Amino acid sequence: MSGNLTIAVARTSYHRAIGKLLLVVAFGAAFGHWVAVRNNARAADARALTLESYTRNFDAYKAAAISNAHSSAIYMFAATGMALLLFGLYELLGRLLGVLIGRAIPMNSAEAKFKGPSLPTERSGT
């Protein structure tokens, strides 16, 4: 016995994992870009804001903040729905990308095997 552990990975699982990895990178990059654009816009607004313009519109800011108060249950249901939607979209796109990768890059069974670390075949003396 060679002492190596060989794990056969199904081709579809391998492609699906690669697809999901690519999606995580793409989602992360898109989210990071959105945060950067949003922060830059807020910084530009802050640089343009003066004390006079802020105090002049204070009553409107206060009324808008008070009118947007809702129950936390509404926010919990909305966040749960968005999380389920995002997870479903992630799974669907991961499977679709896995199929596309499988069609674009065919691989034989020898390439789909992972050679793990050597495992002891018998226990050494204690």
Alpha-carbon distance of 41 to 52, in angstroms, equals 20
- Is there a domain that residue 97 lies in? yes
Q: What single-letter DSSP state applies at residue 22?
A: H
> What is the pTM for the complete model shown?
0.58
Residue 30 within a domain:
yes
Q: How many domains does the chain have?
A: 1
Is 65 inside any structural domain?
A: no
**Is position 21 within any domain?**
yes
Confidence (pLDDT) at 58: 87
CB-CB contact of 93 with 23 (8 Å): yes
Find the domain containing 100 and state its range: 4-40+75-118
52, part of any domain: no
Furthest-apart CA atoms within the chain: distance in Å: 84
Q: 57: which 2 tokens? A: 């519109």
Task: Tell me whether residue 62 is in a domain.
Answer: no
In a domain, 68, yes or no: no
pLDDT category of residue 115 using cuts at 50, 70 and 90:
low
Task: Indicate whether 125 pLDDT > 60.
Answer: no
pLDDT of 123 over the 90 cut: no
**Within a domain: residue 93?**
yes
